[in-house]
Chain A
Amino acid sequence: MTAFWYASRATGVVALLLLTAVMVLGMLVNRQGRLPGLPRFAVTGLHRNLSLLAVIFVAIHVLTSVADGYVNIPVFSAVVPFMSPYERLWLGLGAVSFDLAIAVIVTSLLRRHLSRRAWRVVHLLSYLCWPIAWVHSFFASGDLQHGVLLILAIGCAIAVGVGLVWRLAAAAGDVPRAERVGLIMAAVHDRTPRGRATANDADAPGDARHPRDRTSTR
C-alpha cells in the first residue's frame, strides 16, 4: 500500500510545480511576454498544455491517495471539501483548489460558448486556486516543510508572488480606452524626428502596441 502513498506524494509535488509554471505562463500570456528562444504561440500553448498535464497529475495524486488504505480518504472528499476524516482541513483545501481548477479548465475548454466576461471571471479564480493548492501542499503532509522540498515550495511561492507583483504593476500602467487615442496623438505629434515607424514601435512614449485594457467597459 505504501506504493500508492508515495505515488500520491510524488504526483502532488509535480502537480504543484506544474501549477506554478501554469500561473507564471498565464501571466506572461496576458502581458504578451515571451519565453526566450520560443515563438509567441508557444507561451499560450505551454500554458494550456501544462494546465492539462497538471490536472492529470492532480487526478493521479487524488486517486492514489484514495486507493492507499493506510488512512481513510473517501473518494468524494476529493471534490467535496472537508469531508475527509483524515486531515480534514488541509485535505479540504486541496479539494477546494481542485474544484476551482476544474472550473477554470472546463470553462476554458468551452470558451467559445461563454461570454468573454463569464470566462474571464472564472479564469481569475486561478489566483485563488493556486495559493489554496500551495497551502494544502505545505500542510497536508510534512514533505514540503523540510530539506529540498521546502526550498522548492518557497521557490514556487516566490515565482508566483513576483509574477503577481509584475502583473499588477504592468496593469496599473494600462491606459483606459478613452485615453488611448489622446496619448498616441500627443506622442506622434511630439516626436521629432519622426523616423520610420518600426514593427514594434516601443520607442515613442505611450505609443506602439495596443495599450491594454485595464478594465472591461461592460
Chain B
Amino acid sequence: MTATTAGAFHEGSSRAAARGDLPRLLPPVREGKRPQNLDAHLARHGGLPYRDRTGMPGNPSALVRDLEEAGLTGRGGAAFPVHRKLMAVLEAAGQRGRPPAVIANGAESEPASDKDATLLWLAPHLVLDGLQLAAEAVGADTAILVTHADRGRDVAGRLRQALQERLAARLDRVPVQLAAAPARFLAGQETALVNQLGGGPAIPTFMPPRITERGLAANPTLVQNVETLAQLALIARRGPRWFREVGTASEPGSMLATLRRADGLPRIVEIPLGTPLRDLLGDAPAGPESAVLLGGYHGRWLPAARAATLTLDNRSLEPAGARVGAGIVISLPADRCGLVETARAVRYLALESAGQCGPCLNGLPRIAAAFAELASGRPRRGTREDLERWSGLVTGRGACHHPDGTARFVRSALRTFANEVRRHERGQCSAASTAPFLPVPDGAARSEDDWM
C-alpha cells in the first residue's frame, strides 16, 4: 500500500517549506492519508471556477491562455504543453465540426508508478474539477475517467462516491463516465486508451491521424493525465503566477513523484520541479556503483553519484541522458544486481508488446532473452553487441514508443552497469541478494481478453 509521507519529505525541501505552499494537490500534511470528500475539497480549494465560455479555434478561452502563461506541461511523462493540446483539439473540432471528448488518463500502467492512484484516492475532486474545466474549455460533450483495473485500493469505488457527491451538489456540467483499463503496460498509451474505450483491445494505433484530430468515435479527443488535470483545476482558481511560485522558470509548478528506496516501498511525494535529486534518494550510503532509475521502465539508469548532482527537471536531466518522465525515482539497493533487476523488467516489457509491429515483436523477445543471459550464468560471446544492435533496430520502428523506451532502458543499463557486465562475462556477480526488488507484475497476457 502507499504511504503518503509528504510530511516526512517536506523537511528536506527548504524552498517549499519556506513557502508553506506544498502540498498543493495532495491533502495538507496534518490530514495525513484521509481522502478529501467534497466538503473538505470545497473548504480547501473553493468552488469550481467555470469560466462560462468555451474556447473557439483561433480564440481560445481564458483558461487556455492561463495555462499557456502558467507553462503547465503534461504530468503523464511526455511533458507536452497542455495549452497546445487544448488548442489542437479546439482547432480540429472547429475544422471538422465535431464535438470533442476529454479523457482523464488514470490508467497508470507503469508498474513502478503509484502517484495517479494516490491522487485519485486522496483528492478525486481536484481531478474531477480539472476534467470539467478542460471539457468546458474545448466544448466537449463526453468526459471519461480511466483508472487501472487492478491496483490495491478500490479507486473506482472512491471515484463513484465522489461522483455521487458531485451529482447531489449538481457540480458537473458534463456527465463523467468511469472506465477501467486492463492491466497492460501499453494500456495508458493514448491511442491504446482510445482504442479500448471504443470497444477494441488496449493496443496502440498508428498516427497520423493524431488523437487530437481523430480519436474516440472519430472525434477530436483530449487525453490528459489525472495529475495534469488536478494542476489545471488549481491554476483555474489561483492563476498562472501562483503556479509559477514553485518549480523552475522553464519547468514551473509542483509534481507528484513515486520514490522507492532500499525497502522497495513506494512513497508518493509532491515536490517542486527542480528539486535536487539527492533530497529524494534517501540516506543509504551510496557506493561507487550505486545506481538510480529515473522515469520507470522506459526511463534510464544513472550512477547514483551522478544523479546526486542533478535536479528533477528536464533541463538538468537531459544532458545526463535522462528525463523527468512520470516522476519515478528508484534507488537500487547496494546488495542487488542492476543487471538481474533490469532483466526482470525487460522480460516484462517484451511480454507486454502488442505484437503488432514486426520489429518490436521480433526484437523485444530477443533483447529480453539476451539480457537474461547476461544477467544470469555466462553470456555468450557477442551478447552485448547483439543487445546494442537490436536496441538500435527496434528504435523508432513501431507504431508507439514501447520499443524505443525499452531500448533506451536497456542501453542505459549496459552503460551504467558496465563494470557489472564485465564481471558477468567472467561468470561473477557482485550482488549479495537475488531477492526481486523492482515491482514487476507476474502473469503475461495470454489471449485477446487480457487486452480488453
Contacts and interface: CB of A to CB of B under 8 A. Distances in A.
Instruction: Check A-B contact in the complex, CB < 8 A.
Output: yes
Interface of A: 176-182, 184-185, 187-189, 193-194, 197, 201, 208-210, 217-218
A182 B358 CA distance: 14
B60 to A, nearest CB: 33
Contacts of B200: 217-218
23 contacts: A176-B448, A177-B356, A178-B201, A178-B445, A178-B447, A179-B446, A179-B447, A180-B361, A181-B353, A181-B355, A182-B351, A182-B444, A182-B445, A182-B446, A184-B365, A185-B368, A185-B369, A188-B368, A189-B365, A197-B366, A208-B362, A209-B358, A217-B201
B258 to A, nearest CB: 27
A179 B201 CA distance: 14
A194 B380 contact: yes
A210 B444 CA distance: 20
A140 to B, nearest CB: 46
Interface in B313-365: 347, 350-351, 353-356, 358, 361-362, 364-365
Contact of B446 (A178, A187, A218): A178
B354 A177 contact: yes
A181 B450 contact: no
A93 to B, nearest CB: 39
Nearest to A177: B355
A197 B448 CA distance: 29
A199 B361 CA distance: 15
A24 B288 CA distance: 66
B372 A189 contact: yes
A185 B372 CA distance: 12
Contact of A181 (B365, B372, B380, B447): B365
B372 A180 contact: no
A210 B398 CA distance: 13
A201 B390 CA distance: 15
B446 A181 contact: no
Interface string B64-87: 000000000000000000000000
B350 A181 contact: yes
A63 B445 CA distance: 58
Contacts of A210: 358, 361-362
Among A176, A178, A189, A208, max chain B CB count under 10 A is at A178
A54 to B, nearest CB: 33
A151 B13 CA distance: 90
A182 B347 CA distance: 11
Contacts of A208: 362
Nearest to A193: B380
Nearest to A218: B200
Nearest to A210: B358
A177 B351 contact: no
B450 A178 contact: yes
- Which A-B residue pairs are the 9 nearest by beta carbons? A180-B355, A188-B369, A184-B365, A181-B355, A185-B365, A210-B358, A178-B448, A181-B353, A188-B365
B121 interface: no
Interface in B130-151: none
Given A182-B444, A184-B365, A185-B350, 12 more contacts: A178-B355, A178-B451, A179-B447, A181-B350, A181-B351, A181-B365, A184-B361, A185-B368, A185-B369, A208-B362, A209-B358, A210-B358
A176 B446 CA distance: 10
Interface string B417-452: 000000000000000000000000000111110110
A15 to B, nearest CB: 38
Nearest to B367: A188
Contacts of A182: 351, 444-446
A57 to B, nearest CB: 38
A185 B346 CA distance: 12
A185 B368 CA distance: 8
Contacts of B351: 181-182, 185
Contact of A217 (B347, B361, B445, B448): B448
A201 B355 CA distance: 17
Contacts of B361: 180-181, 184, 210
A188 to B, nearest CB: 4
A178 B201 CA distance: 10
A145 B356 CA distance: 49
A120 B445 CA distance: 28
B447 A189 contact: no
A176 B366 CA distance: 20
B380 to A, nearest CB: 6
Interface in B365-395: 365-366, 368-369, 372, 380
B286 to A, nearest CB: 34
Contacts of B372: 189
A187 B444 CA distance: 16
Nearest to B353: A181
Nearest to A175: B355
A179 B447 CA distance: 6
A188 B448 contact: no
Contacts of B451: 178
Contacts of B353: 181
Contacts of A181: 350-351, 353, 355, 361, 364-365
